[in-house]
Chain A
């Protein structure tokens, strides 16, 4: 009946999330294509994390989510990772009692092509040299910024086509934020799709090719990098 869906990247259509009948995300649609960085900003409680977790299959939802045209509805998170999607969760959640290297090893469990493990590891260690230096250290001993690098590195070890990050700048020093976003720029230029959830509007709008504003579970605006300097638009973005 239906023709094959040949679209690449991540497509989200009419996504809805509710907790005990209370809606958190109310039917949002957007897409993230290869080589693009897309921002998703909005105040606390807007439904940003719910959106990412729902895409990963970690919280119940309705709507259609496709990766490279394949419907991933109903897949458990560990299956979703194997379709080429990876999430760096809010609060980093590295495995604190394991070494940096073991964290990265675990990231590779979901690799579709195991034969390229070594080069992927080298790539991540080049991207975040600090992880090479602290390879045998317990992840719990790293600073917040280093843990964020590890969390991103761990996600990259699954070799995702689409990398999603939930507030990667949260609690980091300005230099640590720079390190993270420089790395994300490399990832984007390598042809991967990046979806960044942030509360820091100005910064995210300037970095991303396109930024959606989420308010109360609804996308109210779509912004371009130029809008980062537009005070009116920013006010609108913050206060709806």
Chain B
């Protein structure tokens, strides 16, 4: 019983992280049909920032990592994606692959191939006793962090004019522009929010691992993309739900698969994904929409 609850809490936390990562991808996709694989390198940049500046205190290090993530995200849009507005989702995805590999090499050049380490928020690595059940402090923190971010995002999207503009653009970019919503404004906003979410993901992952290397963000991004696609990447809530599901399933498999099979947990998740795509492809396909880009 105790073990079940522990694994459930861990799985919810893993789902929360992956949900945030998938949301980072889904927010941008909704507006410009870009499934940004290089979101992983935004996460990596935020992780390097945390690890390299942790000495200065968390209250400096965390803001730095958020700022770095937002700037890199906006820079990607300005330097690369804004020049590719007339291309379809497939081309944009491939371009983001290229950008991802390029940035990994850049990180390697700057920081070397070896991992950099720092004990990020080591206090969270302990477990706590809640009503007689021992749970990871980090899992609880992750769940709270994700909940706070999601509530804040939801309030932003529904209660502010800028948030409504983003929501409208994500639903129907062409009409949003005809109504007078500036394309540059909502695109920039989606990349900035994506950066903030990536920084949150980086925080949780660096607390877990205490280390960062050039390809730090790749695995979670693959899983997040998969999650976003099964959930329905063209809807913000779809990405979030799909990401959560994949994270939750991966974590549960890690807890309950026999020892000798845990290395294959990702493989099991992908089998699950293939099954979902086979049996319910209709609700999961991306609706192709013409997007006016000038």
Distance in angstroms from A53 CB to nearest chain B CB is 8
Give residues in B with beta carbon < 8 Å to A: 161, 164-165, 167-168, 171-172, 174-183, 292, 294
From B164, B178, B180, A98 is in contact (CB under 8 Å) with B164
From B161, B164, B183, A76 is in contact (CB under 8 Å) with B183
Q: Are B179 and A154 in contact (CB under 8 A)?
A: yes
Report how far A83 CA is from B161 CA in the complex, Å: 21
* A contact residues around B174 at 8 Å (CB): 58
**A91-128: which residues lie under 8 A (CB-CB) from chain B?**
93, 95-98, 102, 105-107, 109-110
B175 to chain A: closest residue by CB: A93
Distance in angstroms from B14 CB to nearest chain A CB is 29
* A contact residues around B175 at 8 Å (CB): 89, 93, 95
Report how far A20 CA is from B179 CA in the complex, Å: 26
Report how far A89 CA is from B176 CA in the complex, Å: 11
Report how far A97 CA is from B168 CA in the complex, Å: 9
Report how far A109 CA is from B181 CA in the complex, Å: 7
* A contact residues around B168 at 8 Å (CB): 95, 98, 106
Report how far A98 CA is from B175 CA in the complex, Å: 14
Q: Please tell me if A158 contacts chain B, counting CB pairs below 8 Å.
A: yes
Q: Are B181 and A97 in contact (CB under 8 A)?
A: no
- Report if A58-B177 is in contact (Cβ < 8 Å); known contacts: A78-B183, A98-B164, A109-B165: yes
Give residues in A with beta carbon < 8 Å to B: 56-59, 76-78, 81-82, 87, 89, 93, 95-98, 102, 105-107, 109-110, 154-155, 158
- Report if A105-B294 is in contact (Cβ < 8 Å); known contacts: A81-B179, A97-B171: no
* B contact residues around A97 at 8 Å (CB): 167, 171
* B contact residues around A105 at 8 Å (CB): 161, 164
Q: Are B181 and A56 in contact (CB under 8 A)?
A: no
* A contact residues around B294 at 8 Å (CB): 57-58, 76-77
Report how far A93 CA is from B176 CA in the complex, Å: 9
* A contact residues around B179 at 8 Å (CB): 81, 106-107, 109-110, 154-155, 158
